[in-house]
Chains A and B, each alone.
Chain A
Amino acid sequence: MNVSSVKSKIEVDDVSFRYPATEGAGKSQLEHLSFDVREGEFVSLIGGSGCGKSTTLSLLAGLNRADQGQVRIDGLETHAPGKNRGVVFQHYALFPWMRVRKNVEFGIRQVSEANKKDIREKAERYLKLVGLEGSENLYPYQLSGGMQQRVSIARLLSMETEILLMDEPFGAIDAKNRVVLQDLLLALLERSAKRRTVVFVTHDIDEAILLSDRILFMKDARIAETLEVPFEHPRNREEIVTSRQYQEFRRRLFNLFYDFEGEESEIAKGIEYII
């Protein structure tokens, strides 16, 4: 691909960040982090828990502000939330006083001038897509965790923002619905008329491969490795998973992720200690 033909949608430029609450205690949560996301690209962040994935996403969302360096969107420095970005949080964050339908409508209303009826129809369409037809009039407390997360996914998708920031969106969802939702997300992005840019946090290697164009492996508050995913769009789960290329790529990622040598010795030490 001709690099100059596709512009950067998101630029993270030498960003360092520390939560005020951790002042003076150990390392910063992000240290000299740099990466670019091209327009229309799907980038996954993977890495062990606590390595700073959610923190990175919160900076992209404009919820936190870099202490040093810049986050740029469309070339402009940003440090506040904006209507061009939609977020799904790791811990589903519905408004408990709004019914399911209202939660989705409320999101659409923020980014669209459409009339009440259109907004309502759109909300219903997306709720149906995530398999929640019939739950529109329930309150969040009446739903299971996985169902609540599907509502917040419906809210994000229905907003049809240029940038989607998703923090382990399928983590709390049962295995069957997870597959359905992965395929749904893939299809929506591939068929969408607008080019949508996605930054996606996950700890599921297979999910990262299936969905991403590029995978950033995070470790100790920085990007340790960048991997281009060698599959063309449109993608087909069946074809990808059964290919040899997939097995090889998966093994590479797996070794990165679990860092076997270190891990084993830690476990061995632990067991020794217990015995």
Chain B
Amino acid sequence: MRRALNILYKLLPHALFLALMGMMGVILQRGDRDWAALRPMLALAVLMEAIVLLRAKRWETAGIFSILFGVLILWQAYASFMNTSVSFLFPPPDKVVAVLVKDIRLILHSILASFWLLLLGFALAVVLGVALALLCGYNRRLQNLVVPIADVFSAIPALVYAPYAVAVFPSFWLAALFVIASGLFWPILINTIQSINSIDRTLLDSARALDLNRRDMILRILLPYCTPGLFNTFTMQISSAFMLLIGAELMGMTSGVGWYVKYNSDFSNYTKVIAGFIVIGVLVSLVNAGLDLLKRRLLMWTNMEGRA
């Protein structure tokens, strides 16, 4: 019984793949689309099937892809075969996939624009936040001055600066950069000051005993010491950074994935709007994966399993 269920589970994605292909056949037969228009969707389905075959060993593969195929089938069926009055609101998946392929240059450009803005915001916040935190580490008085200010400012959601920033900065892009950077700056500053304050006494003595110059003390000791805390802050702040980014792009930017969605909504091109959702999902996943990879590389020296 168990075995039979298991076999059924493994076969399910293949059956659904065939069903989807069958559906595409019907659509072709009826003449709704020609072969060229349907090609991207067919390619996607075949690609997914190939992944199922390649990763057949992993238990979760069959489940994940069954769900994906299932969603595509239901969506395609609803959009193509039910004649609803609001069909422009529910474009069929094959059209969305076709748009993703057709618009690929613009989409890649949008992804790069968003990524660049985000990266610049992060870099700005890290450089300024860490530099100020280091100064505070060397100067108690400055620290006593900065910490209360940072406590207040970090409590204000950076989004509220947005309208004012738009008024102040010469371009919307600069305003968006400012909002993203300031959303990250305060948490990074506070966290890094705390890191430096709590540096292990023996470690610090060990470094001091080597009579390091200021530069080595900062680059070789304090910075590496602060990286785990920095990455913790990144992980905690990344979702709010995305909110700020997409929010800024929706409001008035002229590039980026958020802009792509907003621009096409204005023309009621919901096929492209839905494609935009997918693109945003991909961008967020990519950035998260990149951050994870970077963390793995840079924090190899921490006992990650032990700390969990």
Interface residues of A (CB under 8 A from B): 58, 61-63, 80-83, 85-87, 89, 91, 93-99, 106-107, 110, 139-141, 152
Contacts and interface: CB of A to CB of B under 8 A. Distances in A.
A97 B306 contact: no
Nearest to B203: A93
Interface stretch (B40-48, B112-120, B123-131, B204-212): B204-212
Contacts of A152: 206
Interface of B: 202-203, 205-212, 220-221, 224-225, 227, 300-303, 306
A93 B211 contact: no
Contacts of B212: 110
A91 B203 CA distance: 9
B209 A63 contact: yes
Nearest to A86: B209
User: Which interface residue of A83, A85, A93, A140 has the most chain B CB atoms within 10 A?
Assistant: A93
Contacts, number: 56
A93 B210 contact: no
Contact of B208 (A63, A96, A99, A140): A63
A176 B140 CA distance: 47
B301 A139 contact: yes
A95 B221 contact: yes
Contacts of A81: 208-211
Contacts of B303: 141
Contacts of B301: 96-99, 139-141
Given A95-B203, A96-B302, A110-B212, 18 more contacts: A58-B205, A62-B209, A63-B205, A80-B211, A81-B208, A81-B210, A87-B206, A87-B209, A89-B206, A91-B202, A94-B206, A97-B227, A97-B301, A106-B220, A110-B211, A139-B301, A141-B301, A141-B306
Contacts of A110: 210-212
B218 to A, nearest CB: 14
Contact of A93 (B202, B224, B227, B302): B202
Contact of A95 (B206, B211, B227, B302): B206
Contacts of A107: 210
Given A63-B205, A93-B205, A141 B210 contact: no
B153 to A, nearest CB: 31
A97 B211 CA distance: 19
Given A81-B211, A83-B211, A110-B212, A97 B224 contact: yes
B300 A139 contact: yes
A82 B302 CA distance: 30
Contacts of A80: 211
15 contacts: A58-B205, A61-B205, A61-B209, A85-B209, A93-B203, A93-B205, A95-B207, A95-B221, A95-B224, A97-B301, A106-B210, A110-B212, A139-B300, A140-B301, A141-B306
